[in-house]
Amino acid sequence: MERPLKMPTVTKDYYDWSNYKLCEGNYNSLTKYCTNSAYGMVDNLTELEPEDDAAWVNWGPAWRIPSNEQFTELEENCVWKWAEKDGVEGRLVTGPNGNSIFIPATERYDYWSRTLNAGIPFYAYGRSFSQEDAVWWLMWAPRNCAYYVRAVCVP
């Protein structure tokens, strides 16, 4: 079974703005994925490019971190059930066509999307879930944080 990957593309001992590769030491000196000059160099990119996508970098061009839109689609159109797969607990998410995806429960149950928050560009979108909740909820967190990703394969 695939295990969730830690973000970003390189594992670190700690995650901080001082060692985040897409800024110059703090959240208001972004060098990529910025929509507001108060936070750095504006490029108006709001979705990770392949070289910054941990799934693509680690597993190849068929893999991606899901977008915020894809997470929303799962939330709105699928049935969620707490399940166990290969000894790992998590959510089994089944779509209207019967296809399913398993989202392993991590210690925090937090997952990144590949979509950045255009309004506050040092944040990225993600999702959190718990064993008690039937669906997950939108989160935003500073991009320098270490959360998991659940890679998806794009045929």
Q: Where in the chain are the domains? A: 5-153
Tell me the H-state helices in the chain: 54-59, 68-77
- The structure's pTM equals 0.82
Residue 43 CA, distance from chain mean position: 21
In tens digits, the chain (155 residues) has pLDDT values of: 344 444 446 678 889 999 999 999 999 999 999 999 999 999 999 999 999 999 999 999 999 999 999 989 888 999 989 999 999 988 899 999 999 989 888 777 788 999 999 999 999 999 888 777 656 778 889 999 888 888 988 87
Residue 69 CA, distance from chain mean position: 12
DSSP state of 148: E
